[in-house]
Amino acid sequence: MEKRFLHGVLSLFLIYMSVLFGLTAVALEWAIYALFYLGIVLAGSLLIVYFFCGKCPCRKNACGHVLPGKIACILPARKQGKYSSGDLFIAGASIVGIILSPQIFLLKYPSLLAAYWITLLLGLFEIRLFVCPGCDNKNCPGHS
């Protein structure tokens, strides 16, 4: 497996580990909201894949993250090309929603808060340092 793909999978693992830490903090305080947060994560992830990954020329055979590219291929087809402001807004709002939703709950559990932010930042650094540099999506705002 190419090194970039290894880092792509590792970055997603780290990011979803952070989500698990957030979900744990939410569930400890309010079980019903934990289900709501899980829904935010699942819906947000699908929106990111559809509105962002769906336009990526790498999605079919060179997705650095592997799984999002495969999911993007089974969702309704989107034309490859530049991202519209709507595409970026929906993907960005989904990311913000996933990240911000558990924060109030995490504040009550400093160890979970630390684990959340450490794994999230490690995942984002993995993407920026190892996945983005090998990506051919010239329309991506993160393209280096």
Q: What whole-number distance in Å separates Cα of residue 55 and Cα of residue 140?
A: 9
Given this model, what pLDDT does residue 1 score? Answer: 53
24: tokens are 């744990």
User: Is the pTM of the predicted complex or chain greater than 0.85?
Assistant: yes
- Quote the domain boundaries for residue 71: 3-133
Q: Is 66 left (phi over 0), alpha (psi -120 to 50) or beta?
A: left
Q: In the chain, which residues have pLDDT < 50? A: none
From the CA atom positions of the chain, what is the Rg in Å? 16
Q: Structurally, how many domains does the chain consist of?
A: 1
Cβ neighbours around 70 below 10 Å, total: 15
pLDDT at 142: 81
Residue 139 belongs to a domain: no
Domain-embedded: residue 144: no
Instruction: Locate 139 and state its tokens.
Output: 């329309």
Residue 77 and residue 59 in contact, taking contact as beta carbons nearer than 8 Å: no
CB-based contacts of 5: which residues, under 8 Å, 6+ apart?
A: 64, 66
Tell me what pLDDT residue 132 has. Answer: 87
Assigned domain for 138 exists? no
Average pLDDT value for the chain: 94
Q: What pLDDT sits at residue 133?
A: 87
Has residue 143 been placed in a domain? no
Residue corresponding to tokens 């991506």: 140
Instruction: Provide the pLDDT for residue 143.
Output: 76
pLDDT in tens, 59-96: 988 888 889 999 999 999 899 889 999 999 999 999 99
- Is residue 141 situated within a structural domain? no
In-domain check, residue 119: yes
